[in-house]
Each structure stands twice: as structure tokens, then as C-alpha cells.
Structure 1
Amino acid sequence: MYTFFPDLKQDHMHKHIKMPRSKIVEYHDDEKTAEYWNKIAQDILKKQLNRQINTGVAKNVILFLGDGMSIPTLAATRVYLSQKTKQSGEENELSFEKMPFTGLSKTYCVDRQVADSACSATAYLCGVKANEATAGVTAAVELKDCEAMRNTSNHVFSIGRWSQLKGKRTGVVTTTRITHASPSGVYAHIANRDWESDSLVLLDGFDPDLCHDIAHQLIHGETGAELNVIFGGGRQFMIPLTEKDEDGNRGLRLRRNLIEEWEDQKAKSEKSYQYVHNREGLLGVSDNTEYVMGLFAGDHMDYNLDRSPEKQPSLEEMTVKAIKLLSQGENGYFLFVEGGRIDHAHHATRARKALDETVEFHKAIQAALDITDAEDTLIVVTSDHAHTMSLNGYPDRGNDILGIGGMGTDDLPYTTLSYSNGPGYRQEENGIRHDVSKDDLTDKDYRYPALVPLWDETHGGDDVGIFARGPWAHLYSGVLEQNTIPHIMAYASCVNDGENACT
């Protein structure tokens, strides 16, 4: 067995070293018996055998997007969720992991092995792969190519627009700025994801009157203007530098208050509408309101661990309100919901916040599952790309997922969760690795260790999961190109041209 490494012995391969432990729970004694595991396997087998395929029409479609929600993030979150209540976690399931059909999505973009959130949004929303940092356009548009962006033959439209053209209500919910990369894929056609306001277009040397920014397209674009629900952060990108928002944040636009223009637009259409800026306002909106814009922060919404419940609604609350509002339409709806700050926490190597944001995402999906009918509502849960966080070592069962995972050959501990790169990098001192046992691992802002120093941790190129329930959910199986995702939704809800569930 050790022909090439004669000095190694088997007992050295998995040597049990005494080390600091942070064990939360013990596993159950029944798990030591074969009967326990055989029963679990048989129960799962029966469930698989009884699984029914739904080939009806999806009146409603909800796409949940966990930004940066890699497979390791799911595994770690299962444990984190249970350990918050002092329960075992490895065998736990998140709400969407209980969905009957699963697959994998290949996330590369036309010009990148590892995707960003804009080109990937173009894939899973518009059905076409694009170049890095561009959204709602084909790969004929390169980064910052304003002229190519203005060429409408290069525009691609989202499942949101396809649904609007069939008379369905549509909505976007996110915990990021409403003009950020992922939500922009629903309504914008942009050559640079950073062009969220006219001032940022001008900063790159282009005329914002010719090359319309993302916020402008949200209010005045053909898709954006028809959105019934707009929930997220990003007020500063909607108002001019001369004005302040409800929290005292100065605007970032050169001119024009787009919130007021949205209100004027809806007033002229003689449709019921309401703009809200906090949780109280959101909960007070009548479900019969046809158009609602809720902007709950000047920038991104706060992480859940930092959020003031009196001020900002949770992702679950925004999701439930959006579904109630959209359900008033006779022809059904399309809703895009993004748990966007999973990604931001990973970029900062703040693993605790990344897992907590994933729990909030799980709660929002459970709420949607509870108030919708699998017979007529297709719910798809996926991610745009992975991250470099790994779950590693040989920690004991029930060990704190955010704690120490093992000991290195240098007799220093390492954390169960760590990153390939990012701001959590610690430089060795005198050739000695940093001792993480001296750190406060309970700090919500603790930066988990990284191998390579970077200001921001990068995305990962791994495949990501797809989970589905409802009409034609069984088509989300196998390993799929990411741009297949909206085509299946369109087939199931009959908003595409050509063959679909209705024909």
C-alpha cells in the first residue's frame, strides 16, 4: 500500500491528536446499530419510489437564487442551523434540499472559467451565456462597450420579460441593492455591472444619456417599468447628489429622482401603487396594490446578524409579501428572489455571516413552499456560482462547524472552515503559522483563514446545485448548462415561443 512512501505507516495517516474541541452535541446511541441506518435507507427508498412527476402547467414560477451558495456552504449551513439549537446537524436538511428533484449547474461564462454574478445572471435568467460583468446582453458585448450595448440586436430578455408578455405579474426581491448584478439580469441590458447610476457611467467616460445606467433601466426600461414588485436596497442609486434618503444618505445620481419618476409613472397609468422604505411600511401594504417599490437601505440591506428588525424586513417577510401581491393577478406570476449577501460574507471570509444568510434564505424558501401549491407553482432554487470556502479536516461528529477542525503537523490547530484566498490570510511570523485557537471564533465578523492574500475572496468555479418542486421539476436533473434553467421554466409556464407544456 505504501510502495512509494515506505516511511509511512497506516496509523500515521489518520493520527488522533489531542486538540482543542468545541463539541456541541453527541450523536444518538441508535446510530451505532445497523437497524437504524437500514431503516433510514428504506424510508428514503420508499419516498423515491413514490415520487410523482407533474406534467401540468406552471401558472406561477419562483426562482430563488442563493448568490455564492456553493455545495460546501450548504453542508456547513445544515450543521450551523441545527447547532444553533444545540442539536446534531450533519444529517439535517435545509428546506429546499427536501425538494423532489435535483441537478447540477455548470456556471462558467463565455470568457471566464469562473463566473461573476452578472454573466451568470444572464444565463439563469435570460437563457444565454455572456461575458464577465455584463448582463442582459450576448457575448457580442464586451466589458464597457457602450456602443455594442446600445445595439438592441445584442439584447437578450429574461424569463421575467417573457412572463410579462404573456400577461403575468412579475417581481424582484433581493437583500442587495436592487441595481446589483443578479437582480439586474431580470430587467437590464448593460455592458458593465458597475454602471448602477448615471454618475458611474460618466466616471467611465461615457454619456449616460446614451448609455443608460441600471437604475434608469429599472424605472424606464421595457421590463423594469412593468415590474409589479421591487424589493431590496439601493436607494442612493435612485436619487441625485443634491438629495438625501430617509436615513440621511446622500444620493449618487447626477440628476433625476427615479423614485419620484416611478411614482409619477404609476400615477399616470391610474394603477394602484405604493413606495415604502422600512419594515413597517412593507407590512402595511395592501395585498391588492398592483405596483409596490420597497427600498429598505441606501446601499445593500444589512446582514441578518446586523439587521434592525424594526427597520429592515427579513428576506422571508419580503418574499411572503411579494407572493401575496403577485398572487392577485389572474394569469399567474414570475418572481425572482435573491439571498444576495451570502456572497458578500464569503468575499469577506466571514463564514459565520455566510452561513447565517443561507439560513435566512432557507427560511424564505420554506415560507414560499408553505403558501404555494406544488400543483401549479414551479419553485426552482439554485446559485449563480460557488466560492472557495472548504469544509475540511477530521472533526468529531457534532463538533462546532465554526470552530477548530484539526491539528497541523506544526502542532497548531486549524478551523473546519477555511478559504483558498481572501482577506482572512495571516502571514507567518518567524516561520510559524498563526494560532487560531487564540482568536475569538464567536465574533460574527471573524475572518476565517485563507491561503492566499487578497482584498476580496474570489468566486469558485465548482458546479452548483439546482433544486426543484412543481410542474416539470423533474427536468432539473443531471448536469445542466446554467443557461438551460430559464428555458425549462418557460416551457413549464408556457411563456416561450414554440413547444411547451400547453402544446
Structure 2
Amino acid sequence: MKKLLASMVATVVAGTTFANDLPQQSSPWFQDAQNVLMQKMETPRLRGQAKNVILFVADGNGVSSNTAIRIFEGQAQGLLGEEHELSFEKFPHLALAKTYNSNAQTPDSAGTATAMLAGVKTRQGVVGITDNVDRGDCVTALDNQIPSALHLAERKGKATGVVSTARVTHATPAAAYAFAADRNFEDDSALSDEQKAAGCVDIASQALTADMEVILGGGRRHFIPAELTDEEGKTGRRTDGRDLTKEWQAQGGEYVWNRDGLMKLDPNADRVLGLFESSHMEYEADREGDAGGEPSLAEMTAAAINVLNKDEDGFFLLVESGRVDHAHHAGNAYRAMMDGVAFAEAVQIATQMTNLEDTLIIVTADHSHTLVMQGYAQRGNPILGLSKGLDSQGNPVTEPSLAKDGKPYTTIAYVNGPGAVQGERQDLSNVDVEDMDFVQQALIPMSSETHTAEDVAIYARGPWAWLIDGTVEQNYIFHVMDHAAGLSQ
């Protein structure tokens, strides 16, 4: 038997494939896999120093979420969907990250972002702070601050920036530039007089002192005083009377508040603050309906790179798709899928605008969610639709599959969340389960669906990207960025 196999198949070395015909060689599946194999064998291991580093984080986009987004985008393009690839799934290097916080099996975004950006795991709810500090103890935190990759890039003379569809003072972007014993210290109103007297500073204020060149996202309310009404009729939250947008401009930076302002940004601008919503920016599915007009994540990413690229020493940029997470918390898969597609578009823009030889791009998530893809749906079944399976001969059927209660179910569901079934399960036969406002059914009732503790994927391309390999601790991501760009040297 061994001799027969040896006569059929030759070892794949240096571009050779098969010595003799195999019956499956004519299959496109077989040929596609061979092409991928050849590409991977020819992928160079780049070792030059990275001039630029971009860290992309799709908040809450675990493996199951990413799979669903891949199929969703593929089906939107007229494909069956399963065979599709998101932009970053074409990256040559891949690993899994363990996401737990130092004090929690299931993490939050503050602890995970600090791990990725500062190189050590820490507690839930704190940003840029070691795990020696109890959450909320901002006085002790003053002596337990840890610099991030962004801080190190600034010290090295690089331009830096953060982009997010969430508030720029929210956990993930804040971990890039701020030190806070509680992620909720977004403006001074969250700090007591005693804490302020001890030297504690809110996150929005730290955004102005971090020397970043680019800040784009939501969270305008944390930058303006409570007595001020912004361009969209919303009041601020600051109690110290400071208008940080004016202070930014006094420092020589440009300030924009809508898409039109960003698109008309002076091409010679060296610093830009863009705050496009009072709180979080709109979901991608709702963005066109925003009265003020909001830029897409891809447009913000392109604008940031255009500004940062002016620095001959290179740049460090964090880009977050913050609202994938929020849609999952709401049990609303449609909006999570749309924001996931927008995230992939932003990554594609970044790959087009940068050079593989000098720019390390890492794409990951901070944690996962309880989204599951269930049942035995046929190939090409709408990812948000009712699950339709196969007959006994393996051919697709037209009627939805039924659960034991005699009712159909969707492929996508959540383990917990606001869509939880309490009592008799709703019959979805005449429900538009692909509607953007549909909340997927869940098992355990929760006002907000929760994170999970499972690993998340890391994708990478560029100098030293091949170090992204295997199953690693999440804080390892910082060390790859640091090594590739020599940030701490």
C-alpha cells in the first residue's frame, strides 16, 4: 500500500507537485489549494525594520463573528459566500490570541487593549495601568502607569494617531494614549475634586497632551463643556469649562466635526482632530442617515494615513471598529455584519496606501462574543436567514429546517442577550429575520449580550509579520510591533 501511494504522489518541494495523475487533480478545489500552497511557499519572511505600524482592532470580532462577516460580504457581492475572503484574510501570517485579563477569565476591552498596546496583561476596566491597582484607584495608578506602543513611537519621533467609530475616549483607543484607573474617566465630570487635587487627569484631557497628530472618531461630548451646545445640538459633559476642541486649534491643529470637513481637510495639515458624533459614531448601516454627515471608517483611515505619512520617521496608527462590539451586545447581527464589512474595507485602504516592505499591519479583535452559527444550513443559505438544510440525497430543500418545537430558526443566534426566549419561542415563519433591526433569538436573558473568553485571530503582513504564529498571549502583539519597529530602542 505504501509503495502504491509513493508511486502516485511526489513530495511537494521547490514548486513540484505531483509525479502522476490523481483523479482529484482536475477539481478546482484541488487546484486552488495547490495555488495557495505555492504562494505560501514563496512568501518571503521580511526582516527589515518597520517604518510604520498599523494595528487594526475590530472590537468583539471573534472567530465566529469574522466567519459570519466573511459570508455576509461574499453574499452581498453575489457569491455563495463561504468561499469569500475578507481583505485581511489574504494576509500571509496568522495566530490565535488568548484574551483573558489578569483578573478575569472573560475580558473587557480596556484590559485587552492595554495588553495589545503595552505588552502586559492587566485588570478589567483599566487602561495603561498595571494590575497592581484596584479599578478606580486613580491615585495609586499615578505610580503604576505603563507606556504604550503609541507613547514609544512618539518618543522615537514618529507621528501617531487613533481612529475609532466609538468615542475616541472609549476603552480601546484610550489605551493607546491614556493612563486611567477606570475606563469611565472619559472627562473631568467622572473625577472627584479629591482625585483631581491628587493629580488624576481625565482621558479626553490626556488626548491633547499625548502629542498625537491624528484623532478621529466619536466622543465630542467629552471634549466640550456642559454649557456648550455642539454643531449637532448636543451638550457637552465637561464641568471644568474647558473646550478642548478650541485648545487643539490653539495648538495649531485642525478641527473638523463632519464628513464634509474631513474631505476638505487642508492637504498640508499636520494635525487633525475630528469628532463626528457626541457619543459613538453611527453604525455603518445608519451612517447615511446621520444629519451632520459622518465619514466611513475607510475614509477616516485614509485621512489619517495621509496626515501621518508626512513624517519621514514613520508613524504608529491604531484603527478600531468599535461598533461591531456594540451591535453584538444588542443582539443585532445585521449591524455587526455591516460594521465588519466596513472594517475590512478600511484594512484594504491601508494596504493600498502603504508599502509591504516598510509597514507592519496587524489585524485582530480584542475579544469575542456569544454569536454562534448553528444548524445544518445548505451552502449559500443567507447568513442572516432561516436555516434551510439538505434532503436525504444531499440536495438543497426550499423549506426552513424545524426545531423540536416545530418552528424554524436562524443560522445566527446568540447564547445570551436581549433576544432571549422566555416562555414559548416565537414562530419566525413570517418574520423578516434579515431586516436590519431584527434581534436574533438567544438562550439566556440578558439586557446586553456578553463577551466570551475564547481566543481571537491575529492576521499580519509586513516586516516581521511572520512572528505572528501559533497560539500566543494577547500581550505578545505589542512585542512583535516593538521588535519590528524598534519602538523601545
Question: Any idea what SS the aligned residue of 2:78 has?
Answer: coil
Question: Any idea what SS the aligned residue of 1:207 has?
Answer: helix
Equivalents in 1 of 2:367, 2:194: separation in Å?
30
What does residue 456 of structure 1 align with?
A: 448
What does residue 148 of structure 2 align with?
A: 158
**2:219 matches 1:207:** no
TM-score by length of 1: 0.87
Residue-by-residue CA offset, 1:80-138 (whole Å, 9 max, x unaligned)? 11212332110100000000100011100100001100000110001111100001000
**2:406 matches 1:411:** yes
What does residue 241 of structure 1 align with?
A: 226
Equivalents in 2 of 1:362, 1:437: separation in Å?
33
**2:69 matches 1:77:** yes
Q: Shift of the alpha carbon at 1:216? A: 1.5
Could you tell me which amino acid in structure 2 is paired with residue 150 of structure 1? L
Q: What is the percentage of aligned positions where both structures have the same residue?
A: 44
Written as runs of structure 1 = structure 2, the 5 A alignment for 1:384-399 is 384-399=366-381
Equivalents in 2 of 1:150, 1:280: separation in Å?
40
Could you tell me whether the CA contact under 8 Å between 1:171 and 1:334 is conserved in 2? yes
Equivalents in 2 of 1:253, 1:407: separation in Å?
54
**2:416 matches 1:421:** yes
Could you tell me whether the CA contact under 8 Å between 1:427 and 1:434 is conserved in 2? no
Could you tell me whether the CA contact under 8 Å between 2:57 and 2:364 is conserved in 1? yes
Equivalents in 1 of 2:29, 2:227: separation in Å?
65
2:56 pairs with one of 52, 64, 67:
64
Equivalents in 2 of 1:207, 1:263: separation in Å?
28
What does residue 28 of structure 1 align with?
A: none
What does residue 8 of structure 1 align with?
A: none
Equivalents in 1 of 2:463, 2:67: separation in Å?
27
What does residue 250 of structure 1 align with?
A: 235
What does residue 205 of structure 2 align with?
A: 216
Equivalents in 1 of 2:98, 2:421: separation in Å?
32
Equivalents in 1 of 2:337, 2:422: separation in Å?
26
Could you tell me whether the CA contact under 8 Å between 1:146 and 1:206 is conserved in 2? no
Equivalents in 2 of 1:369, 1:425: separation in Å?
40
Equivalents in 1 of 2:162, 2:342: separation in Å?
17
2:158 pairs with one of 159, 168, 172:
168
Equivalents in 1 of 2:353, 2:163: separation in Å?
17
1:305 pairs with one of 285, 289, 293:
285
Equivalents in 2 of 1:449, 1:187: separation in Å?
38
Q: Shift of the alpha carbon at 1:33? A: 9.3
Equivalents in 1 of 2:78, 2:441: separation in Å?
25
Could you tell me which amino acid in structure 1 is paired with residue 415 of structure 2? S
Question: Any idea what SS the aligned residue of 1:129 has?
Answer: coil
Could you tell me which amino acid in structure 1 is paired with residue 195 of structure 2? D
Equivalents in 1 of 2:25, 2:278: separation in Å?
55
Could you tell me which amino acid in structure 1 is paired with residue 206 of structure 2? Q
Q: Shift of the alpha carbon at 1:34? A: 6.1
Written as runs of structure 1 = structure 2, the 5 A alignment for 1:461-480 is 461-480=453-472
Residue-by-residue CA offset, 1:8-29 (whole Å, 9 max, x unaligned)? xxxxxxxxxxxxxxxxxxxxxx
TM-score by length of 2: 0.90
What does residue 368 of structure 1 align with?
A: 350
What does residue 436 of structure 2 align with?
A: 444
Equivalents in 2 of 1:304, 1:53: separation in Å?
36
Question: Any idea what SS the aligned residue of 1:307 has?
Answer: helix
Residue-by-residue CA offset, 1:37-65 (whole Å, 9 max, x unaligned)? 21122111111111111001100110000
Closer/same/farther in 2, CA of residues 206 and 465 from structure 1, 3 Å limit: farther
**RMSD over aligned Cα atoms:** 1.5
Equivalents in 2 of 1:86, 1:492: separation in Å?
39
Residue-by-residue CA offset, 1:357-396 (whole Å, 9 max, x unaligned)? 0000000000111111100111000110000001111001
Equivalents in 2 of 1:206, 1:87: separation in Å?
59
Could you tell me whether the CA contact under 8 Å between 1:69 and 1:385 is conserved in 2? yes
What does residue 306 of structure 2 align with?
A: 324
Could you tell me which amino acid in structure 2 is paired with residue 162 of structure 1? L
Equivalents in 2 of 1:445, 1:227: separation in Å?
37
Could you tell me which amino acid in structure 2 is paired with residue 233 of structure 1? G
Could you tell me whether the CA contact under 8 Å between 1:96 and 1:362 is conserved in 2? yes
What does residue 259 of structure 1 align with?
A: 245
Could you tell me which amino acid in structure 2 is paired with residue 292 of structure 1? V
Could you tell me whether the CA contact under 8 Å between 1:63 and 1:336 is conserved in 2? yes
Could you tell me whether the CA contact under 8 Å between 2:139 and 2:195 is conserved in 1? no
Could you tell me which amino acid in structure 2 is paired with residue 440 of structure 1? D
Could you tell me whether the CA contact under 8 Å between 2:410 and 2:433 is conserved in 1? no
What does residue 12 of structure 1 align with?
A: none
1:275 pairs with one of 231, 251, 255:
255
Equivalents in 2 of 1:319, 1:206: separation in Å?
39
Question: Any idea what SS the aligned residue of 1:415 has?
Answer: coil
Could you tell me whether the CA contact under 8 Å between 2:160 and 2:213 is conserved in 1? yes
Extract unaligned runs of 5+ from structure 1: 1-31, 268-272, 498-503
Equivalents in 1 of 2:116, 2:104: separation in Å?
16
| Count of aligned pairs | 449
Equivalents in 2 of 1:53, 1:444: separation in Å?
43
What does residue 93 of structure 1 align with?
A: 85
* Runs of 4+ off more than 3 Å: 205-210
Higher mean displacement: 206-215 or 340-349: 206-215
**2:349 matches 1:349:** no
Equivalents in 2 of 1:496, 1:33: separation in Å?
50
Equivalents in 1 of 2:33, 2:55: separation in Å?
31
Q: Shift of the alpha carbon at 1:206? A: 5.2
Closer/same/farther in 2, CA of residues 447 and 206 from structure 1, 3 Å limit: farther
Could you tell me which amino acid in structure 2 is paired with residue 262 of structure 1? W
What does residue 232 of structure 1 align with?
A: 217
